[in-house]
Amino acid sequence: MPTRLVIVSDTHVPQRARAIPDALWRAIEAADVVVHAGDWNAVPLLDEVEARAARLIAVRGNNDGPDFADRLPEVATADLDGVALALVHDSGQAAGRERRMDARFPSMDVVVFGHSHIPWDSTTASGTRLLNPGSPTDKRRQPTGTYLTAVADAGVLRDVELVPLPR
């Protein structure tokens, strides 16, 4: 059965935004799995996403304080309908990223990361797909906030779409 994913990172609530956008909440509530690559900033947002998501796979980021240490790991892995997924907040600088992620996660089909707030979609030499959804609340040098949607289906990640949020 295909698994609908919402992939998000760097929500930074309430430091950079009061809340995540309504369009993202609708996507979270419609998804089978929400993947969050860290930098939540406050536990109440984690609680709310856990309450509203059918399933949450998440890690903590460099801006997540000690309250997150007992609840979220630094690295998470999951099998989503045959797709081996790894999740980490910081993948390091863009130069050499594919090589580093191949070495760190040799058996993964997909590695999701955040930290830069800049969307990223590439494939490593070994065929691992690297995805960064950007940030829905702190767009930095991007025209809008963003998140990703995708479908895991029989061992294939398909229909990956970068979703821009209204300004």
- Report how far residue 41's alpha carbon sits from residue 159's, in angstroms, rounded to the nearest whole number: 30
Q: Which of 83, 79, 55 shows the shortest CA–CA distance to 154?
A: 83
Q: Which CATH code of 3.60.21.10, 3.40.50.720, 2.60.40.640, 3.40.50.450 fits the domain covering 3-164?
A: 3.60.21.10
pLDDT in tens, the chain (167 residues): 899 999 999 999 999 899 999 999 999 999 999 999 999 999 999 999 999 999 999 999 999 999 999 999 999 999 999 999 999 999 999 999 999 999 999 999 999 999 999 999 999 999 999 999 999 999 888 999 999 999 999 999 999 999 999 87
pTM exceeds 0.85, yes or no: yes
Domain boundaries of the chain, sorted by first residue: 3-164
Q: Is 159 left (phi over 0), alpha (psi -120 to 50) or beta?
A: left
What is the distance between the terminal CA atoms of the chain, rounded to a whole angstrom?
Answer: 34
